[in-house]
Structure 1
Amino acid sequence: MSNPQRAALEANPPLDLSDDDHELQGSYAELHEPSASFKNRDAYLKHELQIMQPKRWRANLPFRDYRFEYEDTIPAMAATIGKVVMVGAIAATFAGPLGLGEAFVLENVRYELLIVSFFIVLFSGFLLPTANLAGTHGPLIPLIPIVVAAGGHPMAFGLLIGAFGLLLAISKGGSLLANLTSKGVCGGLLLYLGFIGTTSQVKSLFTWAEGIGMSYIAFVVILLTIVLYAVLENFNKRWLAVPLSCLLGGGVAFALGAPFAFKTAPGLPHMSPMYWWGENTGWMLGLPTVESFIVVLPFAILAVAMWSPDFLGHQVFQKISYPKRTEKVLMDIDDTMVSASFRQVAGSVLGGANFASSWGTYIVPAAIAKRPIPAGALLTALFCVVAGLWGYPMDLAIWEPVMCVALIVGVFIPLLEAGMEMTREGKTTQSAAIVVFASALVNPAFGWSITLLLDNLGLIGSKERSASLSKMSRWIIPLVMFVVLTGVMAVVGMLPGIPALLPNFRH
């Protein structure tokens, strides 16, 4: 740094953002300071979060309202890997019972990568910068075989999810339920999701390794990933975990003899909705009928009801990772529901296999890297387009040594850490334990709803918090939520040991 620059900095030092009483005045462009003005990179990233002023339903432009940083590439990369994996899982789950082959799955994934890129730019990058990207509804995957067995039509299913999601967003129901959820309930939910996700990915990696007769590869890859994560944690570089773990997992597996080959050539998918919803092309189902909508109605209600705990976990992770006075840039639950709903309706009409939710493989790494949503969102859109058109990155993203470690270090371990952080103080452990117990009994949506009711009634958790709630917040809303969710689960046969109440849903 030159002497004139040093003198200027001494005369006008950067804002001390550790002072919570300091009120920032001016636009983002006026308040932005070069990274060299700060004592370290972390201070610069915190400053960027605190000076952003996102605008709803108005243009938010790069460099005027936010900037790109190299940290944005990490969540974008993790998001693209997660997108290929999750859409592929949903498309394959639908395709199997319908007699559709691998070629259908691959082409629909490429199609969805292009569809989602447009909506990422439109909403998260431009009009709703605090709306998380509209990703894939992972918890819904176990339900899809039931939907198919009941005769469910994917377009009808997607359209109802979008319609119900929009109603919930307009009524501010998502943020209301989030505000009624205590730290104990939310922390327990994060712990459960983090643990189940981690163990499932470890199991998947071992299953793959056993399938190629090289079980030791899974052990070596996971052991080295643990060491790498610990080293990055020690040097406060955890935001690099996803790319380095992918490089480590893929490189070690290949070096140890695991087979891998690029086979998805560059190309474009079919872009016509008429192809995808034809009688003899695409899904080979034609357009849905009124009966199609009736069949999927309870599943659509359940899918949207499961949004609230999913969205809440992502928002809370941001709150834990971001510095103080960054409320303006936190993920807005209702705006995310708006974005996911519009994206869901359009995707279903166009012929995509995706069912939308908050994009966890994006928001968790972005929160760790202390980056706001918009810049990384635009990079994610770019990466998705490249992956969809080029084809070869899709092969790498779904290769188990890369995919499994990326999801473990990029999503599930951070969720475990956030859950433990939230349950450190007070009587939160009681509620957290009940969430885990009830989620293991049925699923996270059931665990969240019943524990929300018990916690707000004051039967577990903080009695003082319960006493401070209104009658509506203490028991009416939680009870209605629990009854609706449990009722829908009973109808579709999701309660263990209890047959579906309606014969059409028995399978």
Structure 2
Amino acid sequence: MTDSNLSSYRDLHKPKEAFATRAEYLEHELTIMSPRRWGINLPGRDYRFEPEDWVPAMAATIGKIVMVAAVVAAFAGPLGLSSDFVIENVRFEMLVVALLFVILCSGVFNPTANLAGTHGPLIPLIPLIVAAGGHPMALGIMVGVLGLILGLCKGGSLLARLTSDGVCGGLLLYLGFIGVTSQIGALFKWANGFDMGYIAFVVVFATIVMYAYLEHVRLRWLAIPLGAVMAALIAFALGAPFEFHTTPGIPNLDPSYWWGEDTGWKLGLPELQHFVAVAPFAILAVAMWSPDFLGHRVFQELNYPPKTDKVLMNIDDTMCIAAVRQAVGTSLGGGNLASSWGTYMIPAAIAKRPIPAGAILTGLLCIVAAIWGYPMDLAVWPPVLSVALLVGVYIPLLEAGMQMTREGKTSQSAAIVVFSSALVNPVFGWSLTMLLDNLGIIGDKERGQSLTARDRWVIPTIVFILLCGIMACIGMLPGIPALVESFRAHAV
């Protein structure tokens, strides 16, 4: 890429007044950007800050607090660690990711790499990891190493290329529906806990009306901040309990404290058997990255105008950054499991904004929240949390899935994805349907015939068998006992 191409953004930029609508201005910004991949990207020269960048930044900060807390708490429970440990480790994680990766990597050095977020689908497996003798540091390092290998070999973009619109659309539909129902259920469970279930109904009903109106006036990108504020005000006005308890401060930044024998995690450094115990889970975690990363890039493609390929998320670069972030964050003492940052990418795509400006704002907000403390309490308050996830992640996922499955050919594959995902999980559904779709058994048969033998059945078959073998070993196939436990029982 020549230097003239790299500097073309500043040359081609036009003031807002030159456009009839705000949307036209934002779309023009996307078409003229020429991000410097693994170079220095600067505000004004390569991109600009816009008011819309605050939306994904706020959504990402809320999502980061919630998701990292969920991961660390899932480890802390079986290990007998307190809630104070969870909050302290979350604050530590937010400072690490904000300073080293969000601002520097996605904001400066590679604006086509999505922010390194949290691996939500792996949370239910964490108790199994601990029960199997796993160590958080061993798991994090192994995930980082395997993820870096996959990213450097461009395995992520290969699997994304082999996933058709029908398969991807069905995956988005399933994840969106499961997410919507789980958040509504969680909200009612919270409200019923203090015998005021009607608060949940009023909050969800108001959210539906608000979201529909924002769709009507084409201001859907405002759904997260408006929804979060509205949910908090309604819940508080109707008498829902809330109080601040996290005080300002800086968490312990010493890795030896977090990995000490009697401090932090109270586990010490991992040994060889810990790496052996977490190996199947680490492989599964990295395998889950591909459909997750693919869904985030597709969301950009659906919301960005044509001729914006240069600003679309690079799946392989995102994998590399997420892998390095995982290894570094874990080594320093954090308990997060990294993935592509969905609560950032989805709102950013809706707001028609590229990655870098919002990434810098996200990093700053994470630092403020971690040091100030009080925003963390508000972000995890159930009405704020659930509404932010509903309007910022899960409903948009449903909409994107519906857009991708409007044709008969794609709807066949989508239905099989949903069916098989409900049987086991989205990883099983994605890998099985990708194999069937590429073989031409379902979906667009002409597409399957245009693929090479390697892409048509060799790679999809290997991926499906590998993932099924891993899931069988750790007991994720319904009705089938974990093969590892069975082997241990017979050995004894």
Residue identity over aligned pairs, in percent, reads 67
Alignment pair present for 1:86 and 2:72: no
Q: Shift of residue 262 of structure 1?
A: 1.1
* Cα distance in 2 for residues equivalent to 1:276 and 1:117: 19
Alignment partner, residue 40 of structure 1: 21
Q: Shift of residue 472 of structure 1?
A: 0.5
Within 5 A, what are the aligned runs for 1:18-417? 27-118=8-99, 119-417=101-399
Q: Evaluate the alpha carbon distance shift between residue 452 and residue 154 of structure 1 in structure 2; reply closer, same or farther with a 3 A threshold.
A: same
* Cα distance in 2 for residues equivalent to 1:63 and 1:484: 47
Q: Is the 8 A contact 1:277 1:287 kept in 2?
A: yes
Q: Evaluate the alpha carbon distance shift between residue 157 and residue 359 of structure 1 in structure 2; reply closer, same or farther with a 3 A threshold.
A: same
Alignment partner, residue 444 of structure 2: 462
TM-score, normalised via structure 1 length: 0.94
Q: Is the 8 A contact 1:493 1:505 kept in 2?
A: no
Q: Is the 8 A contact 1:104 1:282 kept in 2?
A: yes
* Cα distance in 1 for residues equivalent to 2:281 and 2:486: 13
Q: Secondary structure at the match of 1:427?
A: helix
Alignment partner, residue 493 of structure 1: 475
Q: Is the 8 A contact 2:6 2:36 kept in 1?
A: no
Render the CA deviation track for 1:203-240: whole Å, top value 9, x for unaligned: 00000001111100000000000000000000000000
* Cα distance in 2 for residues equivalent to 1:212 and 1:415: 31
Q: Is the 8 A contact 1:132 1:359 kept in 2?
A: yes
* Cα distance in 2 for residues equivalent to 1:150 and 1:199: 31
Q: Secondary structure at the match of 2:114?
A: coil
Q: Secondary structure at the match of 1:267?
A: coil
Q: Secondary structure at the match of 2:63?
A: helix
Q: Shift of residue 45 of structure 1?
A: 0.1
Query: 2:291 is matched by which residue type in structure 1?
Result: P
Where does structure 2 lack aligned partners over 5 or more consecutive residues? Answer: none
Q: Is the 8 A contact 2:42 2:108 kept in 1?
A: yes
Q: Shift of residue 55 of structure 1?
A: 1.1
Q: Secondary structure at the match of 1:419?
A: helix
Q: Evaluate the alpha carbon distance shift between residue 431 and residue 486 of structure 1 in structure 2; reply closer, same or farther with a 3 A threshold.
A: same
Alignment: residue pair count:
484
Q: Is the 8 A contact 2:64 2:118 kept in 1?
A: yes
Render the CA deviation track for 1:292-346: whole Å, top value 9, x for unaligned: 1000001000000000000000000100000000000000100100110110010
Q: Shift of residue 426 of structure 1?
A: 4.0
* Cα distance in 2 for residues equivalent to 1:130 and 1:298: 30
Where does structure 1 lack aligned partners over 5 or more consecutive residues? Answer: 1-23
RMSD between superposed Cα atoms in Å: 1.2
* Cα distance in 1 for residues equivalent to 2:16 and 2:270: 54
Q: Evaluate the alpha carbon distance shift between residue 26 and residue 287 of structure 1 in structure 2; reply closer, same or farther with a 3 A threshold.
A: closer
Q: Is the 8 A contact 2:6 2:35 kept in 1?
A: no
Q: Secondary structure at the match of 2:242?
A: coil
* Cα distance in 2 for residues equivalent to 1:73 and 1:104: 30
* Cα distance in 1 for residues equivalent to 2:407 and 2:301: 16
Q: Is the 8 A contact 1:344 1:355 kept in 2?
A: yes
Ranges of 4+ aligned residues in structure 1 off by more than 4 Å: 504-507
* Cα distance in 1 for residues equivalent to 2:249 and 2:222: 31
Alignment partner, residue 431 of structure 1: 413
